[in-house]
Amino acid sequence: MANDPLHQFQIKPIIDLFNVGGMDFSFTNSSLFMVAAAGTVSAILFAASRSASLVPSRIQSIGELWYEFVANMVRQVMGSEGMKFFPFVFTVFSFVLMSNLLGMFPYFFTVTSHVVVTAALAVFIIAMVVVVGLAKHGLHFFKLFVPSGVPIAILPFISLIEVISFLSRPVSLALRLFGNMMAGHIVLKVFTGFVVSLGALGIGGIIGALFPLAMGVALTGFEFLVAFLQAFVFAILTCVYLNDALHPGH
Amino acid sequence: MADKGKQDNGEKTGAEPGIAGPDKRFSEISARIAAERRQAETFQGETGRRTSSLGKTWGSAFRLGSEFVAAVLVGGGLGYLIDRLLGTLPFGLIILLLAGFAAGILNMARAAGRVPKAGDRMNDEP
């Protein structure tokens, strides 16, 4: 059981709440770490903005860099008009980033390694794109699926491809984050598991165990890169998709 | 990450003639900030330029693969759903799987910046 690489993804209820129509609404370890991620982000940003000074303290610098990073991303993709969506993008980015990073602690649960969580985020984002697009452009929004200047004979087929392409957005958004986080944690667990099994084999095994140990160290660093990168990709694609709804011009 | 190393080097060589007065250093740094801003504004493709080149490459590598797979999955799933509803089992699946393949190629070409985004054509014709 200790060596089972999938054991870390098990969901265990912490507080049993209630059952409604066969659905379990218990407070699980996943819920706990979602609360922890949101709480950590809030705590850091609260500490960063508590005593604002012209020469920023260390914690204030973190807050400012964080804000600037997301604000620049939103401005670059959507223009200054897109700053209306800055709070939303910032929330999504911070939640995903903090969930990924909290998952790097040993014995901590990685919220984003469950496809339910990432799919819920992705579907919410795409639903928002559709709602914003329809609210701003009305039925003109559906011109997204009807390219201009295409012969009428092949137009239905092109439209079908465009519709599938649009529908694949939430799927790719959800699967990418989920796949990267789960695969990374499994690989890490498998390699570090080798260290334990080889180390039990005596002196030769201990020397042999040095190789998976080195691999484990390297993979841990790589996982931190992936944790940040996936949060970044998730946030920038949120911007790109919202931009489609907001600025049909370009 | 490679960019950062390069920047550090640049800063070191810039700091070497440290005898220069503060005014000169100030105009130097303003010029460098302006150049950086200009570079940031010539923004191409969908992905941001603020990431280091390593981050950008990894980001687009992860993206291209999943864009393609997702479109094929959606195409196949949609085809199977239509077949289940209409009872035409192999045909919808085959046709929509192929359409999903085409959509996957389109997604990848779009993510790589080779094909204009779908939104670009909404203003082509009034």
Which range of residues forms the domain containing residue B62?
53-121
Residues B58 and B117 in one domain: yes
pLDDT, residue B8, reads 45
Instruction: Report if residue B46 sits inside a domain.
Output: no
Q: Is the dihedral of CA A233, A239, A242, A248 positive or negative?
A: negative
Q: Which amino acid is at B1?
A: M
3-class SS string, chain A = CCCCCCHHHCCCEEECCCEECCEECCEEHHHHHHHHHHHHHHHHHHHHHHCCCCCCCHHHHHHHHHHHHHHHHHHHHHCHHHHHHHHHHHHHHHHHHHHHHHCCCCCCCCHHHCHHHHHHHHHHHHHHHHHHHHHHHHHHHHHHHCCCCCCCCCHHHHHHHHHHHHHHHHHHHHHHHHHHHHHHHHHHHHHHHHHHHHHCCCHHHHHHCHHHHHHHHHHHHHHHHHHHHHHHHHHHHHHHHHHHHHCCCC
Partner-chain contact A171 B102, CB within 8 Å: no
Q: Give a yes or no: residue A1 inside a domain.
A: no
| Chain B residue with minimum CA distance to A245 | B119
Instruction: Please judge whether B107 and A168 are an interchain contact, meaning their C-beta atoms are less than 8 angstroms apart.
Output: yes
Q: Does residue A144 lie within any of the structural domains?
A: yes
How far is it, in rounded angstroms, from Cα B105 to Cα A131? 27
Specify whether B92 is located in the same domain as B67.
yes
Cβ within 8 Å, pair A240-B75: no
- Residue A76 inside a domain? The answer is yes
Give, for B69, the enclosing helix (H) or strand (E): helix B53-86
- Identify whether residues B37 and B96 lie together within a single domain: no
pLDDT for the residue numbered A154: 87
Beta strand pairing call for A27-28 and A23-24: unpaired
Query: Smallest CA–CA separation between A140 and chain B, in Å?
Result: 8
> Which one, of B89, B7, B55, B8, lies nearest residue A230 by Cα?
B55
Among residues A81, A238, A149, A152, the alpha carbon closest in space to that of B120 is found at A149
Does B84 reside within a domain? Answer: yes
A2 domain-assigned: no
Task: Please count the residue pairs, one from chain A and one from chain B, whose beta carbons lie less than 8 angstroms apart.
Answer: 118
B48 domain residue, yes or no? no
Residues B30 and B74 grouped into a single domain = no
Residue pointed to by tokens 């699980």: A28
pLDDT per residue rounded down to tens, chain A (250 residues): 456 778 888 888 888 777 777 777 788 888 899 999 999 999 999 998 887 787 888 889 999 999 999 999 898 888 888 888 999 999 999 999 999 999 999 888 999 999 999 999 999 999 999 999 888 888 888 877 887 777 888 888 888 888 898 899 999 999 999 999 999 999 999 998 888 888 888 888 888 888 999 999 999 999 999 999 899 989 988 998 888 788 754 3
| Structural domain includes residue B30 | yes
Q: What does the pLDDT read at residue A120?
A: 94
ipTM of the predicted assembly exceeds 0.85: no
C-alpha closest to that of A66 among A36, A86, A39? A86
pLDDT at B22 over 80: no
Asked if the Cβ–Cβ distance from B118 to A230 is below 8 Å, we say: no
The verdict on B31 and B57 lying in the same domain is no
Best residue in A172, A225, A241, A246 for a mutation probing chain B (most B CBs within 10 Å): A172
Query: How distant is the Cα of B16 from the closest Cα of chain A, in angstroms?
Result: 26
Contact B106 A180 (CB under 8 A): no
Asked whether the beta carbons of residue B121 and residue A165 sit closer than 8 angstroms, the reply is no
**Structural domains in chain B (count):** 2
Q: Identify whether residues B61 and B110 lie together within a single domain.
A: yes
* Residue (of A123, A142, A120, A121) closest to A133 by Cα position: A142
Number of domains in chain A: 1
Nearest CA in chain B to A145: B118
Mean pLDDT of the B107-124 span: 69
Residues B35 and B93 in one domain: no
Q: What is the pLDDT of residue B119?
A: 56
Which pLDDT value is given to residue B51?
45
Examine residue B126 and state whether it is found in any structural domain, yes or no: no
Of B50, B70, B104, the CB nearest to A175: B70
Q: Are residues B8 and B68 in the same domain?
A: no
Q: CA A150, CA A152: separation in Å to the nearest integer?
A: 6
d(CA A26, CA B57): 41
Are residue B112 and residue B58 in the same domain, yes or no? yes
* Beta-carbon separation of A171 and B107 below 8 A: no
> What residues in A contact B123, CB-CB < 8 Å?
248-249
Does residue B68 fall inside a structural domain? yes
**Does residue B116 share a domain with residue B61?**
yes
- Classify residue B14: in a domain, yes or no: yes
pLDDT for the residue A56: 82
Residues paired with residue A132 on neighbouring β-strands, in sequence order: none
Instruction: Give the confidence band of B48 by pLDDT, cuts at 50, 70, 90.
Output: very low
Whether A197 is covered by a domain: the verdict is: yes
Specify if B103 maps to a domain: yes
Is residue B96 located within the same domain as residue B117?
yes
Structure tokens at A8: 């870390």
- Domain span including residue A17: 7-246
Q: Verify that B71 and B117 share a domain, yes or no.
A: yes
